[in-house]
Structure 1
Amino acid sequence: MISSIALDRRSVFDPESTELGALSWTYRALNLLHVRTAPSFIRRELLFEEGDCYDSFLVSESERLLDGYGFLAGAEISSEDDGRGGKAVLVQTRDEWSTKVDVGVTYDATLNLEKLEVTEENFLGQGVFAEFTHRQRREIKAQSFALGTPRLFGRTDARIEYGRDRPGTFFDQFLRYPFIGETGRYSVRQGYSRGTTFFSYSTDGSAEYSQVLVPQFREIVELSAAQRFGEPGRSWIAGLTLTHDVIRFPAEAQVAYGVDFNELQPFPGDLPPFLADQMTESAATRLLLHLGTRRYSFVEYEGLDGLRDRMLVGLGMYAGASFGRGFGVFAPAGVPGVDDFFGRLHGTFSAPIGSSLLHGGLTVESRRDRGTWRDVLLDSDLVAYLRNDDLSSHLLFLRASVAGGWLTSMPYQLSLGGREGIRALAEDRYPGGRMARFTIEDRILFPWPRAGSADLGMSVFADVGRVWDGDVPYAVNSGWQGGVGVGLRVGLPSRTRNVWRFDVAFPVGATEGEPVFRFTFEVNRFRAGFFTPDVLRSRRYNIGAEHF
């Protein structure tokens, strides 16, 4: 039986981590400005209470639930005999700095103020999220306000956001009662979103303009419910989703010259057929059936995404399928209704190899409309984090990615270059319809500064990849392109999950161009998932059994 539950709530900075008196004083002053996570919030996340029988599984699940919050740098739950036949439980948490003024300055060919964000992630220590954001990167120039809580009516997640981008306004709202850890049996979702954004096509020198910007309006209504069966850690999921999806193109395409997205011009002349084919308006009400299975146990790893951060990783596999029927009902005036069949497959696995980790994932979707398979999208990754116990300061990161699209009727284009592609290439170099990329990176942790104050390391990396044209606007067959580089990785405070990178990459072999310097955040992150962003922005169906 659990006789007592004690909380050890640690603030952001540890004054004892440094021998410099001035720095220690600064840490204490900063901690005074920070509101620590409230005891009531932490206790509500626990799946047990005083008087319950001690269950090690519920203890580990509670630790994982706490660890999942971005405003906590880590959580650890331990227990010991109380000398009277019971268990005394200790819950230790350490906060991340929750009040943030994030000035997202990056350097990627030019100096960019990509983001100005004022955020409170843990208002009054209760997990309430409030944010104002200004984002400006290439075709995106958006301002938005958002408010969210993980504790609306118990354990329901709620969020609302309103903002404006270059082509118009956008609104997003959701309520989600998720499966609680591995013990929850039911999940319900409701969501509504609408807005107009630009889809940007790179021409990569094949036209006098550098980008074609297509304004795309999308409105989605979603109602979902799912139930989980079986034992915790070895469960089956069955769910249903009802959606209403409207896609329109409310204005003419525009073009940008060079990197100037502030002075857009109308598209010169008529749209070419290869571009018009991807601007198909549609509306459909769809009913989806989701089936999936999870086989997971959780183990703590250190220094995967960051330098010294700790993260609970699910070892095992997930496999799921979603399929259903669309009906062309409730279509707005002037928008064609669509009757189609569609399907989606998604699977992931994570497996330990000694102290190393292997991870892979695959997502593929398509629909059948008037006897023809269309909008086939595929995205797959294989990732390895390799460690040698004799070289504990080194982590070898390997990633192989393939992605592609076929017969697309929505805006779609991949790009080989950029910070999430071949890093020695400028943004939007080599547009294509299908892509293969390979990355190898040696991440080295420096023994200084002293653990507890800050994290510092470096990386040496190489990228190689290519695109094939397919049936995509302005696409090319690039041939194999590659680059090598070196970078500095910085995490502050120590054990943070947020790592900044200062990288310089050099083209090699047949790859043309100048060295590219980038100052960005870490993009290869296990916690965020591995996927190709250019595929994600074109997905028609982005819900499966794994999202409950």
Structure 2
Amino acid sequence: MSHLFLFLWAASVGAQEPARVGQIEIQRIDVFDTAHPDENRPPYTWVNKLHILTRESVVRREILLEPGDTFDPYLVENSERNLRAYPFIKSAQIEPWDRPDGTVGLMVRVQDTWTTDISPSIGFAAGEQKFGMLLRERNFLGRGKTLETNYNDGFGTVSRGFSYRDPRVWGSRLSARLYHSNSSQGYDTEVSLALPVYSLLTPYSTGVQGRHGTTVDPIYKSGEEVARIREEYRGYEAFVGHPLTATSRRAVRSTYGYAFVENVFGSSVTGSSFALPDDRRLSMIKWTVDYEESDYFSDNLINKFELIEDINLGWQAQARLAYASRDLGALRNEVLPRLTVRKGQRLGPRQFLLEGGGVYFIYGDSQWRHVVASAYGSYYRKSFLIPKNTLVIHGEIANGLRLQRDSQLMLGGNAGLRGYRFNAFTGTRSLLFNAESRFYAIEDWLHIVSIAPILFWDAGYVWSEGEQRKARDLKHNVGLGLRLGFTRSATVPVVRMDLSYAPNKEGTVGGGWVFSAGIHHTFDFADNALRRVSRD
């Protein structure tokens, strides 16, 4: 209904004086909506009593319109998306309505999620297992702030961490983050303070951040660890940006910044045939131009069960040029360009495609190195076999040339290929395909969880530089699984459990059968093989 109102308003805006925003009303709904008889009883009412409702001021500050402003339907939609982007908001709708005084009133309805998480975390995949304990509050005292402490033991490391995030410092547009962790491989500390882009019409953005830590990075070959590299890293950055041109539908932004990045490498149980990477120190000035179009649609049964997701089909492109200079403290003079692009398109009333790609390289001392190029796409088809069935087909390709020695393209049980060991395949060129058919069988069972059986197929491989690609090299697996969507939880939106079989024995465990479980979907939208490739 709200979208019909917005359409009619936009169609008639040229024929009359623009309407003004009048009263803005906020309706906050608890984790369980007591207006529904099924939820207005224990144990749901007990949960509501334990939960601190999001404060009205937190909701109101995300509305990009104020009483007296000219009514703009695009800012209304942008405000809805800003609210839905918060993990503590389950749903958000803004309904415009005509007031007797000729102004446009706004009724803002938001429903909270359960944001307190005290739970163990368990993960299994390809012969690896992980156990941890998490204590997290993602809406501290109803103010939208996040506090977290955690402990994890598995996948080769033991770690303890703490983090704090405030998306609106003292009610301003400033966001802040503090993170620290200690592990058996080192430590990591990060601090940031920024004024981010919250709308295409954001007048300016700025920020500073710093990071310092040590770690031990394993190097893999055929799924086996062949070397370890001890690394100390430091990074500091400051930036400021402004729009070159901006409307409520598209914007071009220019950002200027300075960054210092240093990586110092030392041996730690290093294989005899492995040479350590060269130390790196970049002291660089950066210029970035972003182009973004706003072409959103909202739908569910995509990745988050019944929760509404906002999908942007418009062009999103970024071109960055960085120059590192010895005069600024860098080890060498270098140019570091980066280009990324993403676009979506509707292919029918129930299907769409998201596609993109990027290229990054370093040029210095009259030579090219660390060249990384990738392209990817994800196709979604709702009501594929039955009304509540979504088909997802994902594909990506990546290529690296003269990569730094601590960078590897990797696929395996932790990156796209469920039936194989972690980091089973490494090299400089990768190809990956994934297909999942998700059957959303049970919706909001007991008002807590939705259940979706799935069928899947994965195929991919990683080749080394100079090695000829052959179709028979592709490794693949098939399987079935279960997805659980916790509809009232901000912390665990999706839990997955998969059983896969890989007929290709190379890189497998347990005779080809693998059970894996974890949080979130198995493959990301893009660059699954590039998680260990730096593109700073």
Same fold by TM-score, threshold 0.5 exceeded?
yes
1:118–1:194: structure 2 CA closer, same or farther, 3 Å change rule?
same
Q: Which residue does 2:280 correspond to in 1? A: 282
Counterpart amino acid of residue 476 in structure 2: G
Partner secondary structure for residue 82 of structure 2? helix
Aligned pair 1:340/2:334, yes or no?
yes
Mapping of residues 388-399 of structure 1, within 5 Å: 388=383, 391-399=386-394
The CA deviation string for residues 351-376 of structure 1, in whole angstroms up to 9 with x for no partner, is 12222121012122101121110111
CA distance in 2, matches of 1:115, 1:449: 27
Q: Please name the residue that 1:507 is paired with.
A: 502
TM score, norm. by length of structure 1: 0.86
Deviation at residue 188 of structure 1 after TM alignment: 0.6
CA distance in 1, matches of 2:237, 2:46: 46
Matches within 5 A, 1:220-231: 220-228=235-243, 229-231=245-247
- State the shift of 1:41 in Å: 0.9
* Partner residue in 2 for 1:311: 309
Q: Give the Cα separation in 2 of the matches to 1:507 and 1:113.
A: 22
Q: What is the Cα deviation at residue 213 of structure 1?
A: 2.0
8 A contact 2:411–2:529 mirrored in 1:
no
Question: How far apart are the structure 1 equivalents of 2:474 and 2:420?
Answer: 12
Within 5 Å, give how 1:40-439 maps onto structure 2: 40-110=57-127, 112-152=129-169, 154-204=172-222, 210-228=225-243, 229-249=245-265, 251-254=266-269, 267=270, 271-272=272-273, 275-276=274-275, 279-329=277-327, 331=329, 337-354=331-348, 355-388=350-383, 391-439=386-434
Query: Which residue identity does 1:515 align to in structure 2?
Result: W
* Secondary structure at the counterpart of residue 64 of structure 2: coil
Listed as ranges, the matches of 1:18-33 within 5 Å are 19=38, 24-33=41-50
Contact 1:146 1:161 survives alignment (8 Å): yes
Structure-1 separation of matches of 2:155 and 2:472: 23
In the superposition, relative to structure 1, how do residues 201 and 18 fare at CA in structure 2: closer, same or farther (>3 Å)? farther
CA RMSD of aligned residues (A): 2.7
Alignment length, in residue pairs? 509
Structure 1 contact 18–453 (Cα < 8 Å) conserved: no
Q: Is the 8 A contact 1:202 1:211 kept in 2?
A: yes
- Give, in whole Å, the separation in 1 of the partners of 2:322 and 2:478: 45
- Structure 2 spans left out of the alignment, 5+ residues: 1-19
Give the distance between the partners of 2:36 and 2:394, measured in 1 at CA.
Answer: 35
Does the C-alpha gap of structure 1 residues 416 and 377 become closer, same or farther in structure 2, counting only changes over 3 Å?
Answer: same
- Change in 2 beyond 3 A, CA 1:378/1:133: farther
Identity %: 22
Normalised by the length of structure 2, the TM-score is 0.88
Q: Deviation at 1:38? A: 0.4
Please report how far the alpha carbon of residue 246 of structure 1 lies from its aligned counterpart in structure 2 after TM superposition.
Answer: 0.8
1:227-281 CA distances to partner (integer Å, 9 max, x unpaired)? 11232222111111211111101x4222xxxxxxxxxxxx46xx42xx32x5110
Of 532-541 and 36-45, more deviation after overlay is shown by 532-541
Distance in 1 of aligned mates of 2:444 and 2:210: 47
CA-to-aligned-CA distance 1:182-211 (integer Å, 9 cap, x gap): 221211121110111222212337xxx745
Shift of 1:396: 0.5
User: How far, CA to CA, are the matches of 1:120 and 1:414 in structure 2?
Assistant: 35
In the aligned structure 2, how far is the partner of 1:174 from the partner of 1:382? 32
Distance across 2 between alignment mates of 1:364 and 1:340: 16
Question: How far 1:420 moved relative to its partner?
Answer: 2.6
User: How much does 1:149 deviate?
Assistant: 0.6
Pick which of 296-305 and 137-146 moved more.
Answer: 137-146
Q: Distance in 2 between matches of 1:12 and 1:237?
A: 38
2:142 alignment partner, SS class: coil
